[in-house]
A and B are shown apart, each in its own frame.
Chain A
Amino acid sequence: MGEFFRVLTDNGQLFVDGFTNAVKLFLIAAVGSLVLGTLLGAMRVSPVPALRAFGATYVNLVRNTPLTLVFAFLVFAVPKLDVNIEYFSSAAVALTVYTSAFVCEVIRSGVNTVAAGQAEAARALGMTFGQVLTLIVLPQALRAMVPPMMSVFIAMLKNTTIAAGFSVLEAGAIPAYMAERGEPQFAVLLWITIGFLILILPLVALQRFLERKWRVAR
């Protein structure tokens, strides 16, 4: 047991650096994919056929591409276009682009839970598409979106470890460093698991809180 704790205390800085970068990646990609995913979701429910087609194409293309390929494209292919981009930024963009497709679908399915009559009544009052969406439909759709949205974000938090394969020092990169230092791999992996559990528990608490807060009477 003492050996197990020593693995952590002797390498504390590495764990702190790794998880700090994982959390940074997560926060940047969470905000980015919420914004981009909401825009894509709005496109998919809009009355303009061209926007709907664009949204659908994006989702089908990106959602069906393995995340490692999205990373590889940003890390190896984009710099070839003479775009100067750091590994960390590439990873943040890759996660955002990929997760947005899932966020978009969560938003769309949430919107579909709101009775069509709600949007119709809003349009009949003379509201614009943007007003119908932001004032009437999305507020009622939020409640239904919370559980699947949290699943997407929890998956995304764990997906940050893929960045380790593309030269970003983050949680997923810790085992390789530890192997070089001759630390027992089993203890290292357990500590990383515990680290992710600690990060994910607040997300679960947030989900419970939001579900309660946005409960709507029908």
Chain B
Amino acid sequence: MDDVTTGEPLIVLDAVNKWFGPLHVLDDVSLSVGRGEVVVVIGPSGSGKSTLCRAINRLEPINSGTITFDGQPLPAEGKPLAKLRSEVGMVFQSFNLFAHKTILENVTLGPIKVRKEKPAAARERGLALLDRVGIANQADKFPAQLSGGQQQRAAIARALAMQPKAMLFDEPTSALDPEMVGEVLDVMTSLASDGMTMVVVTHEMGFARHAANRVIFMADGKLVEDASPAEFFDNPRSDRAKDFLSKILTH
């Protein structure tokens, strides 16, 4: 894919550090993500990639450095933070659909309660989004009645219903049975080609190769490589990346 970014970057991390006790999970990480750019973050487990993703909407507070979103530093707490989060969609590894609400209610709750939209309008857009991710016929079921792949697509629709400026995906396919991975990646791929700004933590190398504008490789809390997919997969520069790729690509 060509360079799609224009103007100011949407997400900027500057010298971000975070410790979990003695563990340095984010070690001086700087990164910027342009509008419409799809950045895939890969790396061995424990490399800090999930923490990086969660720091962008402050589900994980950081110890030092700055993160700006759409030109504004992340608010520390309260209403401004809630407002920022409403503009950043988040998709979790374990779906986290609200267990006591139907699929449609899951998708309309945010727009109605947070964005104060009219229920009828939220419902109409919710149904359209469920249709877009291919589960309109599941609208009135509860999350537990759906397959993992359907639940994750519902979770993507829930995030999209807030009309976010960017979407964060924290290992969205890692909890899925293999035959359901494809349906979720299809939705994500179509989202990427529609120009959504995306940060995707994943182990799906195929997705990284064909849908990403850039691949970030992390190890031990450090951002080790930042390259185009072709460059990264064909000519990794660091030994850590070569080692990682040799382990996952041989099978």
Give A residues with C-beta under 8 Å from B: 47, 115, 117-118, 120-128, 131, 135-136, 139-140, 216-218
A125-B162, A126-B110 given; A120·B59 CB < 8 A: yes
Question: Number of residues in B with C-beta < 8 Å to the partner?
Answer: 32
In the bound complex, CA of A139 to CA of B142 (Å): 15
In the bound complex, CA of A136 to CA of B158 (Å): 15
- The answer to the question of B144 belonging to the interface, with a C-beta cut-off of 8 Å to chain A, is yes
Q: Say whether B109 contacts A135, CB under 8 Å.
A: yes
22 of the cross-chain contacts (CB-CB < 8 Å) are A120-B92, A121-B96, A121-B155, A122-B98, A123-B85, A125-B114, A125-B162, A126-B82, A126-B84, A126-B85, A126-B86, A126-B110, A126-B162, A127-B110, A127-B113, A127-B114, A128-B82, A131-B114, A139-B100, A140-B98, A140-B100, A218-B99
Q: Which residue of A lies closest to B90 (CB)?
A: A124
Within 8 A of A (CB), among B154-199: 155, 158-159, 162
Partner of B100, one of A126, A131, A216: A216
Closest Cβ of chain B to A117, distance in Å, is: 4
Partner of A124, one of B57, B83, B109, B145: B57
In the bound complex, CA of A121 to CA of B142 (Å): 16
Q: Say whether B98 contacts A136, CB under 8 Å.
A: yes
Closest Cβ of chain B to A128, distance in Å, is: 5
Q: Say whether A117 contacts B96, CB under 8 Å.
A: yes
Counting chain A CB atoms within 10 Å of each CB, the highest count among B90, B100, B109 belongs to: B100
Partner of B94, one of A47, A117, A122, A135: A117
Q: Say whether B144 contacts A131, CB under 8 Å.
A: no
Q: Which residues of A contact B113 (CB under 8 A)?
A: 127, 131, 135
In the bound complex, CA of A82 to CA of B89 (Å): 58
Give B residues with C-beta under 8 Å from A: 57, 59, 77, 79, 82-90, 92, 94, 96-100, 109-110, 113-114, 142-145, 155, 158-159, 162
Q: Which residues of B contact A136 (CB under 8 A)?
A: 98
Q: Say whether A217 contacts B86, CB under 8 Å.
A: no
Q: Which residues of A contact B114 (CB under 8 A)?
A: 125-127, 131
Partner of B142, one of A47, A118, A124, A217: A217
Q: Which residue of B lies closest to A136 (CB)?
A: B98
Q: Say whether B59 contacts A118, CB under 8 Å.
A: no
Partner of A218, one of B83, B84, B144, B158: B144
In the bound complex, CA of A147 to CA of B100 (Å): 19
Q: Say whether B85 contacts A124, CB under 8 Å.
A: yes
Closest Cβ of chain B to A103, distance in Å, is: 22
Q: Say whether A128 contacts B79, CB under 8 Å.
A: yes
Q: Which residues of B contact A125 (CB under 8 A)?
A: 85-86, 109-110, 114, 158-159, 162
In the bound complex, CA of A126 to CA of B162 (Å): 9
Kindly list 5 other residue pairs between chains A and B, CB separation below 8 angstroms, not including A121-B155, A216-B100. A120-B59, A120-B96, A121-B97, A126-B87, A217-B143
**6 tightest A-B CB contacts, nearest first:** A126-B86, A121-B96, A117-B96, A124-B90, A125-B110, A217-B144
Q: Which residues of A contact B162 (CB under 8 A)?
A: 125-126
Q: Say whether B96 contacts A126, CB under 8 Å.
A: no
Q: Which residue of B lies closest to A121 (CB)?
A: B96
Q: Which residues of B contact A118 (CB under 8 A)?
A: 96, 98-99
In the bound complex, CA of A131 to CA of B113 (Å): 8
In the bound complex, CA of A136 to CA of B143 (Å): 14
Q: Say whether B98 contacts A217, CB under 8 Å.
A: no
Closest Cβ of chain A to B69, distance in Å, is: 13
